[in-house]
Structure 1
Amino acid sequence: MRVVIDGALVESPADLHQVLAGPLDFGPYYGRNLDALWDRLSRDVERPVEIVWENAEVSRGRMGDEAFEAIASVLVRAAEEDEPNAPDERLTVRFT
């Protein structure tokens, strides 16, 4: 599965959680915070999945460096944990 985030439409962390929750099927009890994001990405999301955050710098500018980096670090950390896995069992993340 490939999930594309259009950074031109993401102005806040809440926007980002909304964009990911649907396609990755986070369910109705998703907490919409960094801990919940980590839990879903590291345990619940079926692999393979590629997350592509297009226009990431636009999102960074709108939500601020601190919020952007906090979310990006969760995405990157989840991808790094999957690096030893076979390609069809990985979560990957790209920022463009």
Structure 2
Amino acid sequence: MLKEKFLNRSCIYSIFSLVLSILSIYLWYKSMELTSEVWYMPVELSVILYVAHIFCLIKAIKLKENILLLIISLVISIYNLLLVLITIYFFFIGIKY
């Protein structure tokens, strides 16, 4: 019974949302390293993962079954939103100059 309750759809969406947001934050920090020579574009991937994170978070909020994971995911989402806004701000500064 505990396993069925733990592995409901809301929990799966919340965990997937947390994983995506942590990957997004990691890629954001990876893109800020000056010596980062990677074949992918960390900032763009970070924004894409953030959008996927928000999609999963909205699905989990609609189901409202696991409040603790939702609160953790919302806190990480706010932090991640700040990183995305900083990235977009620096992108527009780069276009301006």
TM-score range (shorter-chain normalised) is 0.3 to 0.5
The structure with the largest alpha-carbon Rg is: 2
If each structure's helix is expressed as a fraction of its own residues, which one has the higher value? 2
* TM norm structure 2: 0.43
If each structure's strand is expressed as a fraction of its own residues, which one has the higher value? 1
